[in-house]
Amino acid sequence: MKNQIFSFFAVIALFLSFNACKPKNTMSAVGGDAAAKAYVAPGKYDEYYNFVSGGFSGQMSVYGLPSGRLLRVIPVFSVDPEKGYGYSEETKPMLNTSHCFVPWDDLHHTELSQTNGEINGKWVFANANNTPRVARVDLKTFRTAEIIELPNSAGNHSSPFGTENSEYIVAGTRFSVPADNANGDVPINTYKQNFKGHISFISIKPENGAMDIAFQIKTPGVNFDLARCGRAKSHGWFFFSCYNTEQANSLLEVNASQKDKDFVMAVNWKKAEEYLKAGKGEKVKTKYAHNVYNESTHTATSEMRNEVTVLDASVLKDICYFIPCPKSPHGCDVDPTGEYIVGSGKLAALIPVFSFDKIQKAIADKAFDGDYQGIPVIKYEAALYGEVKKPGLGPLHTEFDGKGNAYTSFFVSSEVVRWNIKDLKVVDRVPTFYSVGHLCVPGGNTRKPSPKYLIAYNKITKDRYLPTGPELAQSAQLYDISGDKMQLILDFPTIGEPHYAQAAPAEIIRNNGQLKLYKIDENKHQYAAKGEKESKVVREGNKVHVYMTSIRSHFSPDNIEGVRMGDEVYFHVTNLEQDWDVPHGFAVKGAANAELLIMPGETQTLKWVPDRVGMFPMYCTDFCSALHQEMQGYIRVSPAGSKTPLVYSLGAQSPAPQTSAPK
């Protein structure tokens, strides 16, 4: 019997270790009190806002925590027909780039603005991975307010990571490429000579968040993956993980995994600022778009810039230092005290923790192992605080709770591991379902984390939800980390593929002066009609401008005749409502476009080019009142060259009372 019990446990142990990489969907992983912990009663608000990257959806989604309820999808880099983003004339310029209008991107990281190393609730930044851009979302409106393109970059992955007072949002290029002012028409196998890395420092105006590329730092051609600012004692520094220091250009899975160690790059950005002031930067010709949404004109403008200032790290020797870091590091995370820098080698069996003090001493003592293409390489031992031994398989990202613990995600062994930063001992581990990428502790990248919950953003969901054909839901998992043992309390599906996310106590975001509506008197839109009396239809050549208003429950005008084939019709719809939460929508049959969704006091424009002669209904798409279904109208389209007069009306059965002569 004893023997049987022993072998029973042996089998269980074997089973567990064998299945370590794919934990089973067991009920026992969720305790009986889990539901109560994640339950937010109907009508009650969540404790946290969670801003989650949408990956290849190009959008950012906002969840409430701990409920996991989806509150909003904010369109950032991808067009969104639901909100008319990228479809309305006013928002099209937001997606302009030096290439063209780009309607999609791949958004991996969100970054909340900070003051003194704490979240201030003003803005959340996001990166476009494919066509390198950084966006600023204004948390007064939960809308994308600004997008700046990044020159000399490709694959803007190591981005957007901010400094402690949002002095800068920094962005490192994943793909090194020939600089924009160099000849890019070179053989790919000249990578080592011709390909360069660039790190962008985007300055943020404290009063309004306006972005500008203050400078770039040119580095050897490697792949920058992730980054974190120094904080508290290490304020003034930035830390980047880099891989492919082999400088391979083919079959990177093998060729960029040759070296035992790649690098964490430490950047002294205060020093870089000094060089910039001293005129050591080179003004380099390039081309990049800067797009800004103006809240009083309700209109975005896109401007093309053609110059950027570049500091060369191989010439200005004391701004960048490489620190050896095992096996293709992915995450590079700094603890709340700013002393410990954690590098997560994707293929490493340990986690190195570097000490800021030791890095400073190593630089002072010149404890270097030569250089890497002109950048000093600090000796590994000289920078190392210690190593977390055998923590798990495939470490990716680390967050902190401010109580001395670090939490690292392990992609291969599908788990979150809590370890103590001081003694580097693992104190708890919990399985994730399944392969986990980023983690988020609210404020986990600040001086003062809010250590109640941890959210894991997973890559694979397998059997967690009802199946939906070949493509399954993407997923996040919520853990209670307030006790000695981490406890899984909730799964919730996400929009797109979630990578990094940040969260903040709801109070910080709610009490930042959120906008409830646009004041109609302050509407400076060129085509606004600030009352029904101002509504009209004006022909300018083949362009027909409809100054339209909407209010419960009609448009003015609601009948238009005299539009001809060959015309371009612009419906400028002003929502006259001055109540919170009363949008109106607008759509026209056959429009090669999306709807408009117009907030109270706002003006938005839909362009419509009729493709045939006939009668076209238009209607409100947002169920705004009991008589929403009555909110409609007609546009008559006549043949090209017809003499149908341009008339428009509201409340006239026939004939139309107001006319303007056809020109």
Query: Which pair of structure tokens corresponds to residue 396?
Result: 């990716």
Choose the one of ligand CUA, ligand CUK, none that binds residue 454, judging by a C-beta under 5 to 8 angstroms depending on kind.
none
Choose the one of ligand CUK, ligand CUA, none that binds residue 98, judging by a C-beta under 5 to 8 angstroms depending on kind.
none
CA dihedral 371, 396, 60, 168 (to 10 degrees): -30
Nearer to ligand CUK, 66 or 437 (CB): 437
Q: How many residues bind ligand CUK (CB under 6 A)?
A: 11
Nearer to ligand CUK, 108 or 452 (CB): 108
Q: What angle do CA 476, 56, 583 make, to 5 degrees?
A: 85
Read off the DSSP letter of residue 80.
Answer: B
Q: How many residues bind ligand CUA (CB under 6 A)?
A: 9
83 makes contact with ligand CUK (CB under 6 A): no
Q: H-helix or E-strand containing 203?
A: strand 196-204
Pair 295, 141: CB distance under 8 Å = yes
| Percentage helix, strand, coil for the chain under 3-state DSSP, each rounded to 5 | 10, 45, 45
Shortest CB 551 distance to ligand CUK, Å:
45
The verdict on whether omega for the bond into residue 557 sits within 30 degrees of 0, i.e. cis, is yes
Q: Token pair 């990049």 is at which residue?
A: 288
Choose the one of ligand CUK, ligand CUA, none that binds residue 500, judging by a C-beta under 5 to 8 angstroms depending on kind.
ligand CUK
Shortest CB 584 distance to ligand CUA, Å:
4
Number of helices followed by number of strands (H, E) in the chain = 8, 44
499 makes contact with ligand CUK (CB under 6 A): yes
| Closest among 398, 433, 631 to 28, alpha carbons compared | 433
DSSP helix/strand/coil, 445: coil
Shortest CB 422 distance to ligand CUK, Å:
26
Specify the stretch interacting with ligand CUA by CB under 6 A; choose among 203-211, 316-324, 379-387, 615-623.
615-623
Shortest CB 129 distance to ligand CUK, Å:
7
CB atoms within 10 A of CB 333: 25
Choose the one of ligand CUK, ligand CUA, none that binds residue 499, judging by a C-beta under 5 to 8 angstroms depending on kind.
ligand CUK
CA distance 195 to 179: 7
437 makes contact with ligand CUK (CB under 6 A): yes
DSSP helix/strand/coil, 137: strand
Choose the one of ligand CUK, ligand CUA, none that binds residue 239, judging by a C-beta under 5 to 8 angstroms depending on kind.
none
Shortest CB 174 distance to ligand CUK, Å:
9
Q: H-helix or E-strand containing 619?
A: strand 614-619
Specify the stretch interacting with ligand CUA by CB under 6 A; choose among 116-124, 152-160, 446-454, 622-630.
622-630
Choose the one of ligand CUA, ligand CUK, none that binds residue 438, judging by a C-beta under 5 to 8 angstroms depending on kind.
ligand CUK
- Close Cβ partners of 433 (under 8 Å, ≥ 6 residues apart): 23, 25, 29, 414, 458, 461, 462, 464, 475, 477, 491
Specify the stretch interacting with ligand CUA by CB under 6 A; choose among 223-231, 240-248, 419-427, 620-628.
620-628
- Using the rule CB under 6 A, which residue among 378, 406, 548, 631 binds ligand CUA? 631
Shortest CB 635 distance to ligand CUA, Å:
17
CA distance 602 to 109: 30
Looking at residues 344 to 383 of the shown chain, list those that interact with ligand CUK (rule: CB under 6 A). none
The Cβ-side half-sphere exposure at 593, using a 13 Å CA radius, reads 27
Binding site for ligand CUK (CB under 6 A): 108-109, 157, 226, 330, 396-397, 437-438, 499-500
Binding site for ligand CUA (CB under 6 A): 550, 553, 584, 620, 622-624, 628, 631
